[in-house]
Chains A and B, each alone.
Chain A
Amino acid sequence: MNKTAHHIYLTVLTLIVMLALAAIINYGYSYYKISLEERFFSPDHALLKPSGILGHGMGILGSIFMILGVSMYMARKRYRIFSRIGILKHWLEFHIFLCTLGPILVLFHTSFKFGGMVAISFWSMVAVFVSGVVGRFIYIQIPRSIEGRELSLNEIRGLKGNIGDTLINDIQLDVESHRVIVDSIKVKSEYDQSNFMVRTFKKYFDDRRSLRKVRSVMKKNNLPKSQRNQVVSLVKNEISLNRRIERLTLMQNMFKYWHVAHLPFALVMLVIMVIHVGVTIVFGYRWIF
């Protein structure tokens, strides 16, 4: 899948989620905004109640989406026989798509009634969803190969370009300007003494300051805009890599712990969902069947 096809793929998935959400909100807003005690008397109740044709359907469909999203991704990731099917990154994106659309459908299946045992399943689902969003953030903090495999530290360092040479070869700068830019992308070690939060803020403001300096130098050298942007982009990439290299160990640890939250919540959700479905069937609520 080339880059354009990937973009279309992502856009379609995103549109499906957005349209589904918009459609449900548009159709059901007037019903869902009614208090729980009054909903029974709404003409939409028969359709949108959790056991209604649409409400029940959304629950079933959402659950299937989530089960599929989890099971397919897990199978692709864990079983060798599936390891060659598609790129893992795309599977993750499809996993995210199904496990975003699924909870949305389940959310509307609940009709915002969060009580009883099944609420554990629901809130577990919410936890899995939220942890998924957090996990996605951690995930992108760890540099990966194009197939999604984590890169080693050396591989990451290898990614760093020789910006000093690029500046000398391609762009005519004075010595002082060259020095300022090269200094801005050097790894600094003076933050080690302070705590995590202070370090984070210091790094953030230092990076911004460095970028301003680079822009100032570029301006002083009267470089054309395209070259200025090229240099700023290079500097930004270098700074980002610097930070990722700095955070790599932290992110790798966080990702390890993230699995502890994400997967068990998913299992809890699944187990109680099964119980919920079982109880529902036992009491005679079989949707269209």
Chain B
Amino acid sequence: MTTSIHGAGSAAGNSLRQGRRRPVESIVKALLVAAAFVSIITTVGIVIALAEPTIGFFRQVSIVEFVTGTSWTPTFAQKAYGVLPLVSATLVVTVIALLIAVPIGLGSAIYLSEYARPGVRKLLKPIVELLAGVPTVVYGFVALFALNPLLQKWWPADDGPAFQNLLIAGIAMGIMIVPTIASISEDSMAAVPRSLREGAYALASTKMQVSTRVVVPAAISGIVAAIVLGISRAVGETMIVTIAGGLTSDRVVINPLDGAATMTAFIANISSGDIPIGSLDYDSVFAVGALLFLITFALNAVSIRMVRRFREVYE
């Protein structure tokens, strides 16, 4: 009896229970979850891979010496493991790069988003973004063999830039990150609602005032994100500083006209050399790598806070 009642329902086709399995659905879900986990697993893997040699390094070198020492000479007979020269070179190059990239990048973003006619923007934006596709090794060579000779020629004083120097590396790096800053900033300015611009124009604003007082503040979270991404690229960029930045690391170099090794340049140089696995030199690479990782991580954390703090929510 009962069977026939239930049977009648399902035979009539109005059962709500799942009739057929949908295997593709669950496979797709599994693939997507796996894809999401790849980046998490990679990050965890990097931390683990960095941790072991780094701990090995700090068993032999005190953290105090590492953090406060002003000479980094793992390959010299007289070995020293103070990381400040590498950090200061990285800092100098990054600051120069930002001095170039932030004004140019923001300027082009404001032009593209507020001033350029739609046709011009359609043409120019892909060209700006194309710059991001130039391999960094090309920037490095252009900096060393094309830009630096010009810089040396035009330098007004006698003691001009060295063959390799932080200034030219910073300039090349700045040009490299312009498209990153311009493109992301422009996206975030273009997302500012038209009604805000109209409101500002109706209050007798000039185009410049609309751009700088309404659009840029409303887009600031995207702009800060763009700049931080630019900083991350500058801090982590390797080819340009290896080719054009110089190798000095036995003392802290602040003068941008001199050459000095950044953290990444040191890692690239020492890794391409012939160093035995497990040696202190080998471990030192990972210690510097771990520091680089920490700095980038801290930058991201700071940027998230800054974005939250300065954001003008417009919806």
Asked if chains A and B come from one complex, the reply is: no
Residues of B that sit less than 8 Å from A by CB: none
Residues of A that sit less than 8 Å from B by CB: none
